[in-house]
Amino acid sequence: MSPRILILRAPGTNCDLETAHAFHLAGGQTELVHIQRLVETPAAVADFQIICFPGGFSYGDNIAAGRILSSRIRHYLSDALQAFKDAGKLILGICNGFQVLIQTDLLATRGDDTEPPATLTDNDSGRFEDRWVHLKVDGDRCVFLRGMSHLTLPIAHAEGKFVSASSAALERLCQNGQLALRYCRDHSAQEECSDSRSGGAASMLPFPFNPNGSQEDVAGVCDESGRVFGLMPHP
């Protein structure tokens, strides 16, 4: 039986149709669901095996990228989505969807802290970056990336810089194998991709290889189970 995929829409979301098409090509049955419909019937998420938060500018990113949508999720859908996650199902956030996931507790637990362990903020370039990037898969924890080593994908964002809340939080994410996808120079430069980090927060490739200034060249993060994944590039 084909998995059922819920693709969550909000005002301003603009990558939902191509995301649905990609899942369809992979053999999934997709349904585009507006956030308001899900707020009215949170239990509907149980009918699906995958939830995807697609790219686009949810609510116009009028406050900050993904901020309004993540707030609605925390207030109205937290229990339903936590139950979905606890059932071992898959959650994917792409670009704006990654920004949404990282502002909730679905992607990275806060532990004893009151703030998330990381955030996504303005690109170092100070402008919207729209370009192709090379990526290296780091480890095999992330379910969505297993069997892959390198990818070339487009990015299109103004707030994609990954920044940890502290050096301890960054180390915890790294040790857990949650920093699952990183920018690299190119796929032929294996040594550069593998050795570009020194293990410290200052390790970073230069622009444009790292298009936003993300710490440790991070382009994607998964949760500890590997079944929740957020990434900035568009697969």
Residues 167-191: what's their mean pLDDT? Answer: 87
Contact (CB, 8 A) for 215 and 173: no
State which amino acid sits at residue 128. F
Q: Is the pLDDT of residue 166 over 80?
A: yes
pTM of the entire predicted model: 0.92
Averaged confidence pLDDT in the chain: 91
Summarised one tens digit per residue, pLDDT across range 184-233 is 998 764 544 444 444 444 468 999 999 999 999 999 999 999 999 999 99
- Topology at the third CATH level for domain 4-106: Rossmann fold (3.40.50)
Q: Supply 198's token pair.
A: 């020194």
**Sequence ranges of the chain with CATH classification 3.40.50.880:** 4-106
Residues 146-151: what's their mean pLDDT? Answer: 95
Summarised one tens digit per residue, pLDDT across range 85-101 is 999 999 999 999 999 99
Q: Supply 192's token pair.
A: 């550069």
Q: Supply 40's token pair.
A: 């009215």
Pick 192 or 164 by higher pLDDT. Answer: 164
Contacts of 118 (CB under 8 A, 6+ apart): 102, 108, 162, 163, 164, 165, 169, 170, 173, 221
Which among 97, 211, 229, 112 is positioned nearest to 166, based on CA atoms?
Answer: 112
Cis peptide bond upstream of 208, omega within 30: yes
* DSSP states along the chain: -PPEEEEEE-TTB-SHHHHHHHHHHTT-EEEEEEHHHHHH-GGGGGG-SEEEE-SB-GGGGSSSTTHHHHHHIIIIIHHHHHHHHHTT-EEEEETHHHHHHHTSTTTS--TT-SS-SEEEE--TTSS-EEEEEEEEE-SS--GGGTT--EEEEEEEESS-EEEESSHHHHHHHHHTT---EEEES-TT-HHHHHHS--SSTT--PPTTTSSS--GGGEEEEE-TTS-EEEESS--
Contact (CB, 8 A) for 55 and 15: yes
Percent above pLDDT 70 for the chain: 90
Residue 47: phi and psi, rounded to 5, are -80, -5
Contact (CB, 8 A) for 64 and 161: no
- Whole-angstrom Cα distance, residue 111 to residue 197? 26
- Whole-angstrom Cα distance, residue 6 to residue 109? 23
Q: Is the pLDDT of residue 80 over 80?
A: yes
The pLDDT value recorded for residue 113 is 59
